[in-house]
């Protein structure tokens, strides 16, 4: 037998089947009925199955159709009436369990009562399943939103912290450098040479602070990063000799800030020169000079 249109009973059956709440026997006959080609029942079943799936897993809010709720409430209310009178009847039976006279009522009343109870239980179970599905979806969604929000806040805070740390580190570095500069500048025997960019590198600039008491010099420079396989080398020039002082390390921006020991034979030097040399430095400076200056 095929149905012409969906009735309340068909919807109930289809929704219970979709929720897996039918007995094995009921489910089997509903399946056979659908397989026999009742498109009305099959459509109803698919509609409920989709609704249930959406309530559990959709990424957007999917309200349960009103009619499911109405159906459930109406059914529970309707089933509740006979069940209540059954309960009263069963109460009466329990009060006089040993009386022989009412024995004929027992076999008739018990199966009916059991059946009604199991039907109510089925509806309560179905309602509970739907509430559970809706409730856990919203709980899951709200937890996920909270989690995403916390994660975003943490990332933002971490970024702020990194920025702040960089700033503090850079300030610390700068004040440490300034202290080194001032420590030498305060010494009366300190000498200074301004490094001036030469023809090929007019943008180079820097200074040599020469601490003659300690026989060391502080090299401050704003160069370009040395090309691959090359290195900047500092020389002290005196009237008699060109004395190699050391290799200069540039940072990623081509900045130099380092202390180098000054050899004894450079004591009478009058000029400083920076050249670009092969990786390990040279014994004699190459020309052209990259930066040079007079020692005052």
Considering the complex, state which of residue 47 and residue 141 has its C-beta at the smaller distance from Zn ion: 47
Distance of closest approach, residue 120 Cβ to Zn ion, in angstroms: 24
Asked whether the bond before 288 is cis by omega within 30 degrees of 0, the reply is yes
Distance of closest approach, residue 23 Cβ to Zn ion, in angstroms: 18
Considering the complex, state which of residue 44 and residue 116 has its C-beta at the smaller distance from Zn ion: 44
Distance of closest approach, residue 86 Cβ to Zn ion, in angstroms: 30
Considering the complex, state which of residue 3 and residue 141 has its C-beta at the smaller distance from Zn ion: 3
What's the angle, vertex CA 168, arms to CA 165 and CA 171, rounded to 5?
A: 150
Considering the complex, state which of residue 12 and residue 86 has its C-beta at the smaller distance from Zn ion: 12
Give, as ranges, the residues between 28 and 47 that touch Zn ion (CB under 5 A). 38, 41
Is there binding between residue 13 and Zn ion (CB under 5 A)?
no
Is there binding between residue 3 and Zn ion (CB under 5 A)?
yes
C-alpha atoms less than 13 angstroms from C-alpha of 112 in its C-beta half-sphere = 14
Considering the complex, state which of residue 3 and residue 212 has its C-beta at the smaller distance from Zn ion: 3
Burial track 159-194 (b if 16+ CB lie within 10 A, e otherwise): eeeeeeeeeeeeeeeeeeeeeeeeebeeeeebbbbe
Residues binding Zn ion: what is the number (CB under 5 A)?
A: 3
What is the contact mask toward Zn ion in residues 169 to 198, using x (rule: CB under 5 A)?
Answer: ------------------------------
Window of 3-11, 56-64, 237-245, 265-273 that interacts with Zn ion by CB under 5 A:
3-11
- The residue length of the chain stands at 296
Distance of closest approach, residue 49 Cβ to Zn ion, in angstroms: 16
> 246 by DSSP, 3-state: which?
strand
> Distance between CA atoms of 245 and 234, rounded to whole angstroms?
5
C-alpha atoms less than 13 angstroms from C-alpha of 286 in its C-beta half-sphere = 11
DSSP H or E stretch at residue 147: helix 105-185
Binding residues for Zn ion (CB under 5 A): 3, 38, 41
């Amino acid at each position: 037998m095929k149905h012409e249109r969906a009735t309340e009973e068909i919807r109930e059956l289809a929704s219970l089947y979709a929720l897996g709440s039918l007995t094995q026997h009921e489910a089997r006959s509903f399946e056979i009925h659908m397989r026999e080609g009742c498109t009305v029942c099959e459509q109803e079943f698919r509609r409920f199955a989709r609704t249930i799936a959406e309530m559990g897993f959709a990424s957007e809010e999917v309200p349960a159709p009103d009619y499911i709720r109405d159906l459930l409430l109406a059914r529970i209310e309707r089933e509740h009436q006979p069940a209540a009178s059954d309960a009263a009847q069963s109460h009466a039976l329990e009060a006089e369990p040993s009386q022989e006279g009412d024995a004929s009522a027992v076999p008739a009343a018990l199966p009916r009562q059991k059946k009604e109870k199991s039907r109510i239980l089925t509806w309560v179970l179905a309602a509970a399943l739907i509430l559970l599905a809706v409730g856990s979806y919203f709980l899951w969604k709200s937890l996920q939103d909270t989690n995403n929000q916390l994660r975003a806040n943490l990332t933002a805070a971490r970024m702020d912290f990194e920025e702040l740390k960089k700033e503090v580190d850079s300030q610390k570095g700068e004040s440490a450098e300034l202290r080194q500069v001032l420590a030498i500048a305060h010494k009366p025997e300190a000498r200074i040479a301004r490094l001036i960019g030469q023809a090929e590198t007019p943008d180079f600039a820097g200074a040599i602070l020469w601490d003659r008491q300690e026989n060391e010099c502080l090299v401050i420079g704003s160069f370009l990063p040395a090309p691959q396989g090359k290195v900047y080398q500092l020389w002290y020039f005196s009237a008699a000799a060109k004395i190699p002082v050391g290799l200069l390390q540039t940072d990623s921006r081509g900045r130099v800030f380092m202390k180098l020991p000054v050899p004894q034979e450079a004591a009478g030097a009058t000029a400083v020169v920076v050249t670009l040399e092969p990786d390990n430095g040279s014994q004699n400076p190459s020309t052209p000079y990259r930066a040079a200056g007079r020692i005052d």
